[in-house]
Chains A and B, each alone.
Chain A
C-alpha cells in the first residue's frame, strides 16, 4: 500500500502541493489528470525522492514505512518506481552497461548471462534493436524512444508501484502502441500503475477493469471517479469540470 496523507511541498518559497491525499493498492490502476502547473510532476518526483522535494509536510508511507529518510534507490527497493516525463540524456553512459548495473541491484540477476538475456528480451518488447543500447542514455533519442526506454526499465525492474509521468506525451503512434502494451503487461503482472496523463484517449488503449481517476488542481485532488470521469474531461475540458464541482 502506498498512502499519501496531507502532502505539502514547496519550492523556491512557493507552495506547489497543498495538503494532498492519495492512496494506491498493489495491483491497482490510477490515473492522475490535470492541467499544466497543477502539481502532477511535483507529486511524482516527491514520491520518487527528488532532492528538490525531500523536505515535505505530511506523510508518504510505502508498506507502512515513512519514505522521507529513504534515498531514491531505497524507494525503488521498496517497490516504487518513477518513469520520467523528461528522462535526461546522459552522454557516454551506455544503456547496456547501465541496465546491467541496474539489474545487478535486483534479485535473481546474479549471473551475467541472466542479465544479458533479460535486457535483450526487454529490448525486443519495446522495439529496440541491439544497436540503440550501445548508445549513451537517451543520447540522440526521440521522444518516443526516451519513453520506451523508461518502460523497458520498468519491465526489467517490475516494481510494485509504477508512476508514469506522461508516458504518452511527445511520442509517435507506434511508440504509443508499444507503451500501452507494456503498461497492460506490467499491470497484468500485478504492478500498480499510477498514470499521469493529459489525454483521456490514452486510457482507451488500456485494459481497464477498475480504474480510479483523480483530477488535480493547484496542488490538490479536487475530484475523483471512475473511467467515465476521464471521458467527461476529454469532452468538457478541465474548466467545466472545476465549475461543476465548485472547486473553481
Chain B
C-alpha cells in the first residue's frame, strides 16, 4: 500500500480555527462545547500523527450544510438521490414493512425525523447531538468522556470539528425489539464528516441499532471521522450493526469507545463490503463484572484499499468476557491488518480473538497480530487465525455441478461471510449477497 498524498496544504492550527468558526457561526452553540473544540484544536499540534495514510486531515474540510433539509415525515420526503441510495441499501423496503426508527445524517447537516416522537413514547430518546448537549444533562455528562483529544491528530481534529451525530438514550428497563436505523451519507467533495454519537443504555434496557454509511459517486477523497461513545448500564444489552458501503475514495476512521457495566452486553457487528479507500480503527472497551463485549468485523476489500482493524478490550471485572472475531475477503492489491488485543485484569475472565481471511489474488495481503495479556492466573484467553486462498478442490467441485467459475467463487465467498452475519434481517442479507456478486470474480 502506497500512502496517498492528500496533502497540498500543510498542517496548521489557523486552518482548524477557520473550520470551527464556520461550523459554529450562527449556531448558538453552548460556550463550553465551543471551548472543547478549541481544546481539540490546541492539542492538534502536539498530538501524535498515527495515521499511515492521512498526513493532513485539514484537506478534508468540515462545514455545515448551507440549506438544512426539511423535516422528514416519511421516506417520500427525502431528496431523490438520498432515496435512491437507501433503495440500493435495501432500506426503503424494510421501512415500508414495519414502523422503524430512521434518522439520516446528510453531509454535516442533521436531517430530523418525526420518528423521534414515536420512539420517545416508548422510552427511547433520539436527538441530534447538537440539540442533546443543550437539552439533556445525561448527554452532557457523557459527551467526549471516553477518549483523550490529545491521543492522536485525528482524535484532536474530531474534537475540534465534530458535526452532527446523535444521542441515543434508552431508559431503564425498556426493551425494544424493532431495530433503530441511522444513516450517514457523504455528498460533498473534500468533506470531513465527523459525527459524534453517544449511546446511553440505562440498566436492563435492550436495543438493536443499525448504522449504515454510504456515499454517491464523488470525485475527491472524503473523510468519515465518526466517534461513538457507548455506555452500557448494568444488565443492559446493546446490539450495534454497522453497514459500510463507502465508495473506493472515502477514507473512514470510525472510533468506538465502550464502557460495559456489570452484566451488561455490547455486541458490535461491522460489515464493510465497501470499506472505502482506507479504513483504520482502534476501538477500546472496558468490561465490568460479568459483562461481555463481542466485536465481529466482516470486510471485503478491493483495489488498493487499506484496512487496519485494531481493538483493545480490557476485562476489568470478574468473570467478564471479550470476543474479537474478524472475517476478511481480500481482493486485488488491497491489504487488511488486524491487531486486536485482550487484557485480562480480573479473575475468571475469558477472551478470544479469531481471524479468518480469504486472500483472493497474489497481490492481496493479510497480516494479523493478535495480542493477549493477563494479570491474573485463571483467565482463559485464546486466539486462532486462518489465512488462505479458495481451495481448488472446492472450486472444481462446484464447477463440476454446472456453476461457472464466477458463480462458484461467489458462492464460496458468500459461504465464508454469511455465517458471521446470519442474524441480520433477510433484506440486508440479500443486499450483501448482491454486493458480493458484483464484486467477486473468479481467478482460475
When distances are taken between beta carbons in the complex, the residues of chain B under 8 Å from A73 are 399-404
Q: Are B402 and A76 in contact (CB under 8 A)?
A: yes
A35 to chain B, nearest CB (A): 24
Instruction: Determine if A105 and B402 form an interchain contact, defined as CB atoms under 8 angstroms apart.
Output: yes
B397 touches A88 (CB 8 A): yes
Q: Is A37 close to B, CB under 8 A?
A: no
Q: Are B411 and A93 in contact (CB under 8 A)?
A: yes
Q: How far is the CA of A72 from the CA of B398 in the complex (A)?
A: 9
Q: Answer yes or no: A144 CB below 8 A from chain B CBs.
A: no
Residue of A nearest to B444 (CB): A51
> Quick check: A71 and B404 within 8 Å, CB to CB?
yes
B:409-427 near A, CB below 8 Å: 411-412, 414-419
Judging by beta carbons under 8 Å apart, are B399 and A98 in contact?
Answer: no
A contact residues around B391 at 8 Å (CB): 88
Hey, what's the 0/1 contact readout for A76-119 against B, CB within 8 Å counting as 1? 11000110100110111110011001100110000000000000
A88 to B393, Cβ gap below 8 A? yes
A136 within 8 A of B: yes
Which B369-405 residues have a C-beta within 8 angstroms of A? 391-394, 396-405
Contacts A49-B400, A72-B396 given; does A136 touch B405 at CB 8 Å: no
CB pair B397 A153 closer than 8 Å: no
Cβ of B444: which chain A residues have Cβ within 8 Å of it? 51
Interface size class of B (residues with CB under 8 A): 20 to 34
Is there contact, CB below 8 Å, between B415 and A91?
A: yes
Most buried by B among A81, A88, A105: A88
**Option from B392, B394, B418 in Cβ contact (under 8 Å) with A51:** B392
CB distance from A19 to the nearest CB of B (A): 25
Q: Which of A48, A75, A101 contacts B407 (CB 8 A)?
A: A101
Whether A71 lies near B419 (C-beta < 8 A) is: no
What is the bound-complex CA distance between A153 and B400, given in angstroms? Answer: 11
Output the least CB separation between A123 and chain B (Å): 16
Q: Which of B403, B415, B416, B418 interacts with A102 by CB under 8 Å?
A: B403
Are A93 and B401 in contact, with the CB atoms below 8 A? Answer: no
Which B residues touch A82, using CB under 8 A?
A: 400
Query: Does A157 count as interface, using CB distance less than 8 angstroms?
Result: yes
Q: With a CB–CB cut-off of 8 A, which chain A residues contact B418?
A: 92
Counting CB contacts under 8 A, is A50 at the interface? yes
Q: Is the CB of B412 within 8 A of A106?
A: no
A102/B414 contact (C-beta < 8 A), A51-B392, A88-B394 known: no
Q: Which residues of B contact A136 (CB under 8 A)?
A: 415
CB neighbours (8 Å) of B416 from chain A are: 91-92
In the complex the two chains form, is A106's CB within 8 Å of B402's CB?
A: yes
Which of B398, B416, B417, B418 lies at the interface centre, i.e. has the most chain A CB atoms within 10 A of its CB? B398
**How far apart sit A84 and B398, CA to CA, in the bound complex (Å)?**
11
The answer to whether B400 and A81 touch across the interface, beta carbons within 8 angstroms, is: yes
Inter-subunit contact B397/A84 (CB<8 Å): yes
Interface centre among B391, B397, B404, B412 (most CB of A within 10 A): B397
B402 near A157: Cβ-Cβ < 8 Å: yes
Give A105's nearest chain B residue, CB to CB. B402
Interface members, chain A 132-154 (any B CB < 8 Å): 136-137, 153
Q: Which of A75, A77, A93 is the one whose CB lies under 8 Å from B415? A: A93
Known contacts A51-B392, A91-B416, A93-B415; decide if A105 and B403 are in contact (CB<8 Å): yes
Nearest-neighbor residue (CB-CB) of A71 within chain B: B399
Q: How far is the CA of A88 from the CA of B400 in the complex (A)?
A: 12
Task: Find out whether the CB atom of B401 lies under 8 angstroms from the CB atom of A90.
Answer: no
Q: Are A77 and B411 in contact (CB under 8 A)?
A: no
Shortest CB distance B383–A (Å): 20
Find chain A residues with CB under 8 A from B405 CB: 71
B396 close to A76 (CB less than 8 A)? no
Q: Does the CB pair B392–A92 fall under 8 Å?
A: no
CA distance in complex: A21, B227 (Å): 70
B residues less than 8 Å from A92 (CB atoms): 414-419
- Given the known interface contacts A71-B405, A98-B411, A136-B415, the answer about A90 and B400 at a Cβ–Cβ threshold of 8 Å is no
Chain A CB within 10 Å, residue with most, of B396, B407, B412:
B396
Instruction: Report chain B residues within 8 Å CB of A51.
Output: 392, 396, 444
Distance A218 CA – B393 CA, assembled complex (angstroms): 24
Nearest B residue to A87 via CB reads: B397
Evaluate contact between A101 and B411: CB separation under 8 angstroms: yes
A76 — which chain B residues lie within 8 A by C-beta? 400-402
Q: Which residue of A lies closest to B327 (CB)?
A: A92
- Please state if B402 and A102 are interface contacts (CB–CB under 8 Å): yes
By beta carbon, the residue of chain A nearest B393 is A88
In this complex, the member of B399, B407, B418 whose beta carbon has the largest number of chain A beta carbons within 10 angstroms is B399
Give every chain A residue within 8 A of B399 (Cβ-Cβ).
Answer: 49, 71-73
Contact between B400 and A98 (Cβ–Cβ < 8 Å)?
no
Kindly list chain A residues whose C-beta atoms are within 8 Å of the C-beta of B393: 88
Within 8 A of B (CB), among A17-69: 48-52
Find out whether the CB atom of A48 lies under 8 angstroms from the CB atom of B400: yes
Provide the bound-state CA to CA distance between A136 and B415, in Å: 8
- A72 contacts across to B, CB distance below 8 A: 396, 399-400
Rounded to whole Å, the gap between the CB of B356 and the closest CB of chain A is: 10
Q: List the 9 closest A-B pairs by CB distance, nearest first.
A: A92-B415, A93-B415, A72-B399, A72-B400, A105-B402, A76-B402, A88-B393, A73-B402, A102-B401
24 A-B pairs with CB atoms under 8 Å apart are: A49-B400, A51-B392, A71-B405, A72-B400, A73-B400, A73-B404, A76-B402, A81-B400, A81-B401, A84-B397, A84-B400, A88-B391, A88-B393, A90-B397, A91-B415, A91-B419, A92-B415, A92-B419, A93-B415, A94-B415, A98-B411, A101-B407, A101-B411, A105-B403
Known: A92-B416, A98-B401, A153-B401. 14 other contacts (CB 8 A): A51-B396, A71-B405, A72-B396, A73-B399, A76-B400, A76-B402, A90-B394, A91-B419, A92-B419, A101-B403, A102-B401, A136-B415, A137-B397, A157-B401
